[in-house]
Amino acid sequence: MSEARDWLTEGLPHIWLPYTQMATAATPLAVVASQGVRLRLADGRELIDGISSWWTACHGYSHPHIRAAVEQQLASLPHVMFAGLVHEPALRLAQRLAALLPGDLERVFFTESGSVAVEVALKMAIQYWRNKGQAGKQRIVHFRHAYHGDTFATMALCDPEEGMHALFAGTMPDQLMAELPGDETMRRAFDLLLETHAERLAAVIVEPLVQGAGGMKMHDAQTLAFIAEACARHKVLLIADEIMTGFGRTGRMFACDEAGVVPDIICLSKALTGGTLPLAATVARRHVFEGFLSDDPAAALMHGPTYMANALACAAANASLDLFEREPRLAQVTAIEAQLAAELAPCRELAGVVDVRVKGAIGAVELSGNIDLKQLRLRFAEFGVWVRPFGNVVYLMPPFIIAAAELATLTAAVSRVLTERADALKGMPAWTQY
């Protein structure tokens, strides 16, 4: 315990935490081990992880098959540059992803993070048209409530009203925001937008079925199919950002599968390695890749991260795909969906709750009013769960291996904490004012 206090107290003054106002930040919880769906803290407590470490740990923590694959790879080839050299884990993974993805999504460009995977997709889309002699097609359409990353190009594709990136307004590329075309009026407006700007549009980017960090907003397969059809009709590329939804989270291996959509480019990350190591992929259809084939060196895609296709990460990703083949992951997601729907439904009746939404292994409770996120997070930890609300949403995205009793502990904690908040909003005694 003294050693834990030493590294914590001595190290915290030198760390800058993400999405945190450091002047008023609560002391972060110190984690010393993880196993299955549980995090063990330095003070001896265990928390059930309700959000899979930002939606990555789909198989839970420390799965022996992934651990063994990484250990074996570490002993032979941890990393080698991916320029002029290749290695087996990356080529096997690329082949397997191409076989899993719909249609002819078959050319895989590896990076290390979701934001960079989206950046690469944008470069692909814009340069594709430039290589075809249509250099004017360089703007991107994105949707309200979208989130695609924190780099400058990806910030420009996020909802400007969400506030996360408002500080940088005026410094980012100017893109076009649309409403998700969920009804006939919005479909006509979206179609008119593409028709009006088609000559300067390179692509439309969408988070299929579920918009993640923008508020866990959900739309149906018909909406996604309409977006794909409109893009094809107006000769605009479609980029599917499946960084959050990919690898089973919505109930299909990829969210696009539910709508029968084959995007021109798809972005993958998060659960790609089962939450073990950083890895991302931008995968293009055959016609997009062929748009870069030329005798002109300037027509090549000029991008190459230092740790591109890291062998350890690729080994972990291959092991993760093994688990999707061997174990009933999608069936587990179906069971999680049913339990989330049943056990979160009573939250709809609470004061301060706007909506409850469930899709696959995603459950979201949208709140109204002033929300003290720091107090909510601390209260959840007191109930033995790790739940990290953001904005106005309390959400659960547990590992797929979670047992029904463990999931019930998570949903009960959400119900209890939000009931306390509802009582406080009504002026009744509560442990704190949220």
Where in the sequence numbering do the catalytic residues fall? 19, 147, 241, 270
333: nearest Cα among 397, 257, 267: 397
DSSP state of 245: T
Pairing of β 139-143 and β 201-206: parallel
Measure Cα distances from 376 to 178, 259, 304, 322, 427 in Å: 33, 36, 41, 37, 18
Nearest to 210 by CA among 345, 359, 400: 359
Pair of tokens at residue 385: 């769960």
Which pairs from 166-174 meet CB under 8 Å and 24+ separation?
174/139
Q: What would the DSSP string read from start to end of 133-171?
A: T-TT--EEEEETT----SSHHHHTTS-GGGSTTGGGTTS
**Residue among 13, 3, 167, 341 nearest 158 (CA):** 167
- Report CA-CA distances (Å) from 357 to 10, 338, 406: 42, 12, 20
**Which tokens hold the place of 132?**
């075809």
Show the tokens assigned to 300: 């090549």
> At 118, is the secondary structure helix, strand, or coil?
helix
Q: What is the C-alpha separation between 96 and 321, in angstroms, rounded?
A: 8
Mapped onto helix, strand or coil, the DSSP state of residue 241 is strand
CA dist list (Å): 156 to 2, 151, 174, 205, 420:
46, 9, 7, 12, 38
The token pair that represents 431 in the structure block: 């442990």
Question: In this structure, are residues 272 and 320 in contact, taking their beta carbons and an 8 Å threshold?
Answer: yes
In degrees, rounded to 5, the angle at the alpha carbon of residue 262 between the alpha carbons of residues 333 and 285 is 120
Radius of gyration for the alpha carbons in the chain, expressed in angstroms and rounded: 22
Quote the tokens at residue 337: 């969906």
Residue 290 is which amino acid? E
